[in-house]
Amino acid sequence: MNVLSRINSPADLKGLSSPELQQLADDVREFLIDSCSSTGGHIGAGLGVVELTIALHYAFDAPRDQLVWDVGHQGYPHKVLTGRRDRMSTLRQEGGLSGFLKRGESPYDAFGAGHAATSISAALGIAAGRDLNHDDFKVVAIIGDGSMGSGLAYEGLNNAGASERDIIVVLNDNEMSIAPNVGAMHKYLTSVQRNPLYNRLRSAVGHVFEQYAKGKGPLHDLAAIAKKLEESAKAFLTPGVLFEEMGFRYFGPIDGHDIDGMIETFKAVRAFKGPRLVHVITQKGRGFPAGEHGEKWHALPPGHDPATGKLLTASQANPNYTSVFGRGLTELMHEDPRLVAITAAMPSGTGANLVQKAHPTRFFDVGIAEGHAVTFAAGMATQGLRPVTAIYSTFLQRGFDNIIHDVALQHLPVIFCLDRAGLVGEDGETHAGLYDIAYMLAVPHMTVTAPANGAELIGLLRTAMAHDTDPFSIRYPRDAAPDLVPAASAIPVVPYGTWDVLRKGRDEVAVLAVGTMVAEAMRAAESLSAEGLDVTVVNCRFLKPIDQLSLAALLTDHRTLLVVEEGTVVNGFGAYLSSVVEQMEPQVRVIAHGVPDRVVYAASRARQLAQCGLDAAGIAAKVRALHDAEALAR
């Protein structure tokens, strides 16, 4: 019998028997596998926390008790059990459920989360607010062991442990973030799972305690002594000592797939006060027919076969920019032994896994620690190496201070490769890389570039390698490259600081296109030509420095420059160029056409571009409007 069909809210869990709870776990897992095979999504983490989610909702009283999930990858079972089961078919689609946690979506989502390691800090803030408001609900942060490698997690733990506030942290330990975890914390946490001495001792003590703890006399005293012995052993042999020293009362490790055991633990922990941490061992991807624990099952695209994880319809598109970058960098590293690659827990997501295979001693995964990745790269640069730091645009936001203070101010030649720059489709607003143009332009000594195609991406990497005095950034989208890219050895360096005039028009409007917008601008120009409008199109592959010679020529022949960029229009390239042109030719107008100053929600990437007027039709419409305005002004 399907138990899930009877669950419309967490309150419906309370009356279920132990066998029914286990059946519910099986139902949720089966439902998620089937649902995500159509919608795509971050399935691996969700499958690993099914039993944990059931136990939490059974033991706590959400939404009054606040469950603060980290990242959101873990949140799919939570969505299913909190009244959103019937909408899971809309996951990651326009107007549908978010792929992450979202306060506006449900009262059960206590805090929005798309980036890692926010849960402990947020939960502590909620607990402080509760105490100031003289309320008495419980606050639980659920964080994965991968996120525990992030500095923000340590900051939250440090503050929470010292605060003595009533807060519970559940550490979901599955030995994975996206790729297998790295770093000292990972080794520390996994030591308990592989310590046979502690496990044998715990089993023996548990047997003695169960037999004699309820009675009185010598045997009862023996059980108490045995229990103290176990606690002492735990302090020496488990990760608990670290958390105890930080001010947390430590419980665990416990089996994250034993619903009854977790419910019992959570009920006991709920009754205490102060900071406490429950260490739960789970298996990422548990029950997925195509296999468990694999990095490739972390997230899957829509329309995949759940038995194999493969797409049901093979893609006919060119290789994406990510694979172009990974292959190109791998080849360039054969040419230059100074090149090293750094990523932050995203080897396959950034294409750096290809480097890892070919150049294992020159590849560095620092875990979910973007700020550290930047400063680590800066340190390597002081030793004559040429670090290539491959991080998603949205995640590099976390390293902004490091970029300025540790790299730019010291004139260190770190190369920043920003994957997923621009609109990212179904991953939605938390992962959109809309701000890197604005924040990189603001960094002193930074070269800012955007290739129009895959070959130009590799050409700009060559340019960056030759530019050894200051940092260099290259942004590229989550999309297929518009060209078939030859081997890196066949691609020349892009001349530093140059633009490329692709189409010389007679009209007074020139379109200055950035990166992904070059192809769209060319398509717009072709359609406008059929209407009698002849516009210039320029590939502005260098945003900083500006190609002064090309700009001067454009200012001579055009009255309006339309800057088209796949990034925020606020303080973007258009705004930057406008300030430059105002000093050179104040009578020439610069119009910025980019992503508006609003949130762009999940939809297909093509749909998002169309909504922002950043497809060929939208660019053509903007040019027509500007041309008509010019005609009226005359």
> Catalytic annotation on 310?
no
How many other C-beta atoms can be found within 10 angstroms of the C-beta atom of residue 225?
12
Tell me which of 242 and 394 has the higher pLDDT.
Answer: 394
User: So what's the pLDDT on residue 263?
Assistant: 96
User: So what's the pLDDT on residue 42?
Assistant: 76
What domains does the chain contain, in order, with CATH numbers?
Answer: 4-174+247-281 (3.40.50.970), 321-490 (3.40.50.970), 500-633 (3.40.50.920)
Type of residue at 219: L
* Distance from C-alpha of 321 to C-alpha of 475, rounded to nearest angstrom: 10
Could you report the per-residue pLDDT of 235-291, keeping only the tens digit for each?
555 567 888 889 999 998 899 999 999 999 999 999 999 999 999 999 887 877 766
* Preceding peptide of 337 cis, ω within 30°: no
Type of residue at 353: N
* Active-site choice (175, 370, 429, 585): 370
Three-state SS for 142?
Answer: strand
What is the DSSP secondary structure assignment for residue 392, as one 8-state letter?
A: E
> Catalytic annotation on 296?
no
Could you report the per-residue pLDDT of 45-98, keeping only the tens digit for each?
889 999 999 999 999 999 999 999 998 778 999 999 999 999 999 998 999 999
For the ranges 210-214, 512-516, 550-554, 562-566, the lowest mean pLDDT is seen at 210-214
Q: Quick one: what percent of the chain has pLDDT higher than 70? A: 85
* Active-site choice (102, 284, 475, 541): 284
User: So what's the pLDDT on residue 305?
Assistant: 67
* Active-site choice (29, 138, 362, 398): 398
Mean pLDDT confidence for 131-137: 96
DSSP per-residue codes, 186-199: HHHHHHGGG-HHHH
* Distance from C-alpha of 27 to C-alpha of 408, rounded to nearest angstrom: 53
Sheet containing 542-544: which strands, arranged edge to edge? 363-365, 339-343, 386-392, 415-419, 472-475, 447-449, 542-544
- Give the pLDDT band (50/70/90) at residue 194: very low
Nearest to 192 by CA among 130, 145, 133, 140: 145
Query: Is 50 exceeded by the pLDDT of residue 293?
Result: no
* Distance from C-alpha of 578 to C-alpha of 421, rounded to nearest angstrom: 22
Lookup: tokens for 479: 């999309």
Task: Determine which helix (DSSP H) or strand (DSSP E) holds 592, and give its type and residue range.
Answer: strand 589-595
Backbone angles phi, psi at 540, to 5 degrees: -90, 70
What distances in angstroms separate CA 597 from CA 434, 523, 567, 609, one per listed residue?
10, 26, 10, 14
For helices 548-557 and 573-584, give the axis angle rounded to 10 degrees.
Answer: 70
* Distance from C-alpha of 427 to C-alpha of 618, rounded to nearest angstrom: 23
Could you report the per-residue pLDDT of 203-225, keeping only the tens digit for each?
555 554 555 555 555 555 655 66
Q: Quick one: what percent of the chain has pLDDT higher than 90? A: 73
Query: Is 78 within 8 Å of 108 (Cβ atoms)?
Result: yes
> Catalytic annotation on 398?
yes
- Give the pLDDT band (50/70/90) at residue 630: confident
Query: Is 50 exceeded by the pLDDT of residue 373?
Result: yes
- Give the pLDDT band (50/70/90) at residue 193: very low
Mean pLDDT confidence for 593-618: 96
DSSP per-residue codes, 59-82: HS-TTTSEEEESTTGGGHHHHIII
* Distance from C-alpha of 132 to C-alpha of 372, rounded to nearest angstrom: 35
